[in-house]
Every structure is written in structure tokens, then in C-alpha cells.
A and B are shown apart, each in its own frame.
Chain A
């Protein structure tokens, strides 16, 4: 009788071992650990409140456009004083048209849509993906300040659980 129980026990144990192996051991990660490097990346993303495409666009904008259009697209770049007509304020002017129209100006120049020649065509210098990025970023500039994501989400995080917002923000961008 005891022997029979022994067999059954051995078989049962073996089966349990099989199941355990097949399922695999899955230890959880420690929730309270901080991730200092990811915090730097997240801080950047949060402060800017921009998608990756918009971030690319921002860099291109800074290189090609800021001298006339200004940092915020309000038409107050350092070279704007000298232009006639002056560069428009994006917060107002972009509302009048669709992104396809913005795209046409970036690629073919403002003369191509029947306006002044002062915004030159960039279509031959920029890759199509670069123009996508610029159109995306210009869209951010067209929003009034109160709607821009940077001011919506303040940079402070709750010190009680530093890891939690990090993880969610990171995975949301992956």
C-alpha cells in the first residue's frame, strides 16, 4: 500500500516538475527601483511634449526656418525685420489652411501658392520624411500656448513612486 502511494507520488511529482519546466519560472521585477537614464529621456520628452517626428521637425525648423520665422513661429526671427511682407504668425495663419497647403509651401516655396517669394522652396534640399517632420512640428506651433503639451503636463513628478511614471511614459513611446 505504501509502495503504491510511493509510485503515485513519484509520478505526480514528475508531472508537476514537467509542468513547472514547461511554464517556466517568471520572477517579477522589483517595482520600487528607479531608472535614472530613462528618467533623463522621459524628462526631455515630457518637457517638450513632442512625438519623435515632431522632435525631428523641431531640429529641422531650428536649422532652416528660425532665422525668419522665429523660435516659436510667431514671425519674429532675427532676419524678419528685413522682409516685406513679414513672416506670418503661425498661431493665426496656419488655421486658415490645411497641412497639405503647408507642405506645398515648404516644398515649392511661398511663390508657388501665389504669395511673396521670400520663403524659398526646400523640396529639393529636404527628404520627404524631413518635410513630414516639419509639417508635424509646424502643427505644434500653430496651437496657442495654452494647448501646447509642455504647459499641460508640469515637469514635477510625485517623489513617492519615482519608477511608476517613468515606466508608463517610456512604454507609451515604444
Chain B
């Protein structure tokens, strides 16, 4: 039985216990607040700054005892890191220990802390005021822990969206990997456009390749060529047979007629000479030497048919409208000899000389090949009539840097289940991930895959305010018209040269101000018979066999359109200035890098003929401030006085290889 007294005793006891409990909690809370990590840290910093600073500087130092924070309303961030990192922007603490040490480098000058805070670049949980919760190391339930320097470059890339952000290594390389691998063909990748894509069209491939080569290629592209851009689709034997039949049946446009060619008169040796003189190795590699813009040619004779090759060299754009390859002004006999050289001497010794008969006429096999072609998304890279509307085969990569990752995404548990590891394995070893992937195997090197991960992590979901983003404006395609445009198209100038930021990067000479840099007469003779100005470079301007009229058309257009009015035209140059210029040329050590006459270095261009090659206004402007015209150039900025630059210009304008003794 229960009496009121007994109940009252029970309540008294309960309240007494509760009172003690609450007292304990309150004192615990106050004690915790008093002994909190950041207070201890600030107390130690106080002792440190008393040692480091003199009394005057000390009196100016900001008072301690509060939480410090940077609030960035436009990106919704609060960073309290400076509560403990107290010496971060004070050079007096350069040699202090963490967390008091000064920020290394000049980063805080370019990224003012009150505008950028800390976590935008470093990651971590900015609102935390203790070491653990700030996510200096990965913690549960915070997906964006502080990053090691390499992965921090991904954070650089979130704001800096240009293809080559300065002062990054992994990010720049990763973006290059993404562009070269052609990820944009199958995925939407912010910052990349289909212009980056390079793959041959296949509508007429049945005329081009030999079936035995095609089978080998489809089974393992890197087995044929280590630098092959096409990934391995891990095709089964039946799929390869079907695809081979389908592709060999593609005969939309016949190659240019070579019926009138007398192949019995072909001379491979003459062909080799023509091939060498035309500087084909600038773009094509043979046995390890040469450029990579065009396909490798070491065993091209076992890959393509003779008649197709003849038609292709005669007019590359006939078969491949978007090709980078130029149309040489060769005679039919020259082409015949080059084709003989390529098809007879550059062969794989294991391949039979005559291609096997094409037996594939079974329409069922062709149809199964077409299905394979569509299923693997081959049309994504190899643009194909009638398949353009099929859309991108892979998922969009918008926000890939925020993709949620679960441990169950990994097939093997011995891997730390982070987003970066998931991306890395996806690129390197997709079979270690849980999801079966249709993505082909690219065979990226470890470094390339890691770089691509950094670049992918920079693609975040949240859209940043425009004021925080730097980007290179995407340029409109540059397509000149008229006679000049036709020549630029024929000789594919823009495969190597740049105009207004558009075009290839092989050449060191963009067109933008070429009319103010080079003399008209020099351009006309150079275009007809290019001679190396930079003798140590393997890549050289091809020998086009251009006519004089064509060369003059190009030179006229350069002189009229590609001029920079800031580069003075006529400058008064006298013999006295030239004499002083020659002295300067010696004292500055210019010969260390430039050839004049018979001696000099191989770093810069040969200056022996500069009086007939260059315009004086350009020389003067270039010498005065080289970095303005070409960032990162090896031409040093000597800080020349105007009269010194003028004197050097005068001297260079007297240099000529013209043996007639005529002054330029």
C-alpha cells in the first residue's frame, strides 16, 4: 500500500538526485567551455607572440580570447580556422610550428583571406573550432575533409576553369588527359566541347583498311600501337567478326580514282625522298621518331589499301572532311612514289603481303555488327551518318566532384571508400568496383589516371557566383573566307598555327600579328621553300610545293589583316646605333642562344638573316618586353633602355645571308 508520506519521500529523493545531476551538467558545461581546445591554443600563441614580437608590435596585435571567423555569404561559408591558425598572415611567424606558422608562398597575396577564407581551397569543416571536427583528417559524416596538396588542385579548378590554370600540375595534366581521351564523346563534361574530339569518320572505311588489320585493331588497339587513342572495348570474338563485316561494308564515298596510275613505274626510293622533304615526320611517327598529330606509320602498309592511300594523299578532305592533314601540291607521280614507299617498305613482316579476300556478305552478320557498333557507342567518337541523334551513351559528369560514394560501391573492401578512390579505380581498374561498367579500358598510366581524378573532382554541382569564376572565353571557330580562306583550308594552316586563340599548338608562331613581325618578301619565299629558323626542332613547316601566286596571296593577307598597330612601322636606324647594338649583342651574351653566321647557340631562332626576315618595329617591341608577347618565353627580359633596344634593332637589321652584298 502506498501512503502520501511515502510518495513525498520518493519525490524528495528524485528531486535531490536531479538537482545534483543538473549541477554536475552545468559545471561540466562551464568547465568544458573554459578548457576548450581553441582557448588553450590561443593561450600558447600568446606566450609565443610575447617571445617573437617587440612590445610595440605586441601592443598593435589583435586581442585574443574570441573565436575568429571569415564569413563568405556568397558561397555560404563560415571559416573559423584563424581562431587557431593565428599567425597565418603574419610573416613574423614564418618559422613557428603549426598551427601558428605563416602561410607558405604568395598564396595569401593572390587569395586574400577575407575574400576566400580557408576551406574553399583546403577543404575541411570551417565552422568547427577543434582539430578533429575541422576535418584535418577524414571524419564520418563530413564529405569534404581537408585535402593533401595534390587533391587541393581540384579545388583550384572549381573556380579556375581555364584549360591550363597556372601553378597547377595535376589539374592541368588531368584536363589534358580528359581532352585527349575524348571523354566528351560519351559524357557531358563541363568545360570541354566536341571540338576537342579527334577520330576518323568511318562511312567509307570499307575502302580504307585491310580486314586482318581491322580485326587486330578491334581486339586490342594498344596491341597495334601503344599510343593508340582508341580504348579497348573488351569485345568478344563474335562481336569482332560482326563489327569487321559491318565496317568493311561501309563504302559511301569511293576514293579518288587512281586507275590511270602505272604502278609498275613506282619508285619507293624516290617516294622516301619526297616523304622526307615534305617533312611528313613533323606529324607522323616512324619507328619511334616523329610527331604525334597524325597516325603512326611504321606498319601503315599492312593497314591500308594502296588505292585508298593514293586518293587520301591527293585530297585528304575528300575522305575525312575534318582532317588535320594538309593537301600537298604533289604531282600524281610523286604521290605514286610516296604510296609505294609507304605500302611496300613500312609493313609488318608477319602480315601476308596481299590482303585476304573480303568474304563478308552475310547481311545478318553485318546487322549484328551494326548493333554492336551502336551498343558500344562507337558513333560517339566516329561521327556516323544516321546515328547522330542517338545521344551520349555515358552519364553526365556535371557534379561528379560531389558524387556520393558508399562502401558498397566497391567490390573489394580493402580500399578506403572515398570519392577520389572510386574515380581512380573507375579509370584504372573498373572491375574492382561493384557496378559492371560499359566504359572501355583506356590503359591510363597511374599518373594520368590520378591527374584525371583531380580534374574530375574540380567539377562541382553547386554553381559559383560569376565573380568567383575565372575562365577562358570559348572562342568562335575561326574560318576565313575567300582566296585566303581556301588556302588556309587546303594547307591546313590552323592544324599547327593559332589565330585569335583558335587552332593548333605545334607552331611557335601565331598569325595574330605576323604581318607586323615578318617582311612580305621573306614570307613569300619562305612559304614556297620553308627553311628552318629554329634548327634544333624536329617539327618543321612542311614543304607544301606551294605556287608563287599562293604564297603571295597568303603574304598579302598577312600584311593587310594580321597587323598590330602598336608595332611601329618605320624606325630610324643609323649606322652608329647599329655599331652600339653590335657591342650590346656581345656584352649581353646573345650568342649564347642565337646563331649569327656560323657560330651561336640553339635555344633561340637563327638570327643570321634577321635583316631580311624581321620588321624593326617588332624586334624593338619584342626585346623591350618579351613576356608581354609570349608569356613564359625563354627570351630574357634584360630591362633594356629604349635607346638600347633601338641599337640592338639597328644591328639585327644589318644581318643578312644575302651573298650579293646588297644591304637589306
List A residues at the B interface (Cβ < 8 Å): 3-4, 7-8, 11, 15, 18, 27, 29, 32-38, 40-41, 43-44, 52-53, 55-56, 59, 63-64, 67-68, 78-79, 82-83, 109, 111, 116-118, 120-122, 124-125, 127-129, 132, 163, 170-171, 173-174
Contacts and interface: CB of A to CB of B under 8 A. Distances in A.
A129 B106 contact: yes
Contacts of A4: 10, 13
Interface of B: 10, 13-14, 17-18, 21, 25, 104-106, 136-138, 140, 146, 148-151, 167, 169, 413-418, 420-421, 423-425, 428, 446-447, 449-450, 453, 536, 587-589, 592-593, 599-603, 626-627, 632-634, 636-639
Nearest to B107: A129
Closest 9 CB pairs of A and B: A120-B636, A117-B589, A124-B637, A37-B424, A40-B450, A118-B589, A129-B106, A118-B592, A33-B416
A174 B148 contact: yes
Contact of B637 (A34, A63, A83, A125): A125
Contacts of B449: 40
Contacts of A40: 424, 446-447, 449-450
Nearest to A35: B416
Contact of B149 (A79, A132, A171, A173): A173
A29 B138 contact: yes
B204 to A, nearest CB: 42
A173 B140 CA distance: 22
Given A63-B632, A82-B601, A34 B415 contact: yes
A29 B601 CA distance: 59
B638 A121 contact: yes
Contact of A83 (B25, B415, B416, B592): B592
A119 B627 CA distance: 18
A82 B600 contact: yes
Nearest to B450: A40
Given A15-B21, A40-B449, 20 more contacts: A7-B14, A18-B25, A37-B421, A37-B423, A44-B447, A52-B104, A55-B169, A63-B634, A78-B536, A78-B602, A79-B592, A82-B600, A109-B636, A118-B589, A118-B592, A121-B638, A124-B636, A125-B627, A132-B105, A174-B149
Contact of A34 (B106, B137, B416): B416
B627 A36 contact: no
A36 B415 contact: yes
A127 B106 contact: yes
Contacts of A7: 10, 13-14, 17
Contact of B18 (A11, A33, A68): A11
Contacts of A18: 25
Given A33-B413, A127-B106, A79 B602 contact: yes
B450 to A, nearest CB: 4
Nearest to B423: A37
A82 B636 contact: no
A38 B602 CA distance: 41
Nearest to A77: B603
A33 to B, nearest CB: 5
Contact of A120 (B25, B425, B589): B589
A129 to B, nearest CB: 4
Nearest to B428: A36
A47 B418 CA distance: 25
A37 B104 contact: no
B589 A36 contact: no
B450 A53 contact: no
Contacts of B420: 37
B585 to A, nearest CB: 11
Contacts of B633: 125
B406 to A, nearest CB: 15
Nearest to B453: A37
Contacts of B634: 63-64, 67
B405 to A, nearest CB: 13
B17 A41 contact: no
Nearest to A8: B17
B424 A79 contact: no
A75 to B, nearest CB: 13
A34 B592 contact: no
B367 to A, nearest CB: 42
A123 B589 CA distance: 17
Nearest to B449: A40
B17 A11 contact: yes
Contacts of B418: 35, 37
* Residue among B146, B449, B603 having the largest count of chain A Cβ atoms under 10 Å: B603
Contacts of B17: 7-8, 11
A121 B626 CA distance: 13
Nearest to B10: A4
A32 B413 CA distance: 10
Contacts of A128: 106
Nearest to B587: A117
Contact of A11 (B21, B425, B536): B21
* Residue among B421, B592, B600 having the largest count of chain A Cβ atoms under 10 Å: B592
A118 B21 CA distance: 81
A93 B18 CA distance: 79
Contact of A36 (B149, B425, B600, B637): B425
Contacts of A171: 137
Nearest to B446: A40
Contacts of B428: 36
A43 B445 CA distance: 13
Contacts of B599: 82
Contacts of A43: 446
Contact of A117 (B148, B417, B588, B637): B588
B637 A79 contact: no
A44 B149 CA distance: 13
B451 to A, nearest CB: 9
A171 to B, nearest CB: 7
A34 B21 contact: no
B421 A79 contact: no
Contact of B414 (A15, A29, A32, A37): A32
Nearest to B593: A79
Given A11-B21, A41-B148, A52-B149, A34 B414 contact: yes
Contacts of B150: 41
13 contacts: A7-B10, A8-B17, A32-B414, A36-B424, A82-B592, A82-B599, A82-B602, A109-B636, A121-B636, A125-B633, A125-B637, A163-B416, A174-B146
